[in-house]
Structure 1
């Protein structure tokens, strides 16, 4: 039906538009008169397309709206109210169809924006993970290169979250030794990881 209606838009109104007034055309459409339907389409198409354009601001969308309106009118012709005037019916139908199109487009745009945002977030999370993994590898390598006692004390403090006194008791060394070794470990790690400072700052920004 839509293809059939689309084929009518470039034709001019036929003689029926002069033989019958709008109310009579509406009656004949309701009765299933295809000639009356074609006449009505050709008579009002251009005006309705211009009217639809004032809402959607797109010629193709305006054409589609008018064609959709006439499709629905023909499909529901048996439900048309004969006491109503034809022209207000058509303009009201185009108005409603235009609003429906705008609502649909708004929902579509919102969904597309949501999809884009989710995709960007996934890409950001992936980049974040890659950077974090890369930095972690450098940190683990730097820790592995620490002297044994220095490395053990650092790991107990940072990874096991033990206090200095607990580390001293566990290793049977003085708390002063723990403090010195921690200071040494941090100094060495700062030197070894200084070239990765931009990466660390970027990760802190992304978190």
Structure 2
């Protein structure tokens, strides 16, 4: 019972610390401190960029859209009452800008036409891409935290699409060792993602995303 009490106390303190951090940054933003803008940029830029690029299939335009979202955030900084409002504003602004871009281009690719129709008709599509972009951003960060040997093998498999025997020869390892590193890497990533609050229901999304990360 004592252990459970300590775990409970620690969990409450973690929640309180997180809430204090959220309050700190939102107050800085409302006061016009550019450190807050930098904080939210680092927090959301990569996932927003993935989100926009995925929807409009135009990396250069996606960068402009995301940059403009942060400009709009700064212009409206005094309007935000809570940290989650910032995130919602950024994604809604990004979604609307992507929709506007797709609406006005004269010739759309098949994929662009598909996303345009889904953006107009189905909010679930937007939510899926928001979820996927956040999963991938968190996953990229966790990959960089893997032990060096695991990380090297993992990247060769999923980034460079090399076969197990190729990696074994390149790194002077046995084939079984490469397989062990791969298995252990995936286990560590799953554990890390669960600790970040991603549920088991997202594990399939994560594994499917690995090949295209």
Normalised by the length of structure 1, the TM-score is: 0.38
Normalised by the length of structure 2, the TM-score is: 0.37
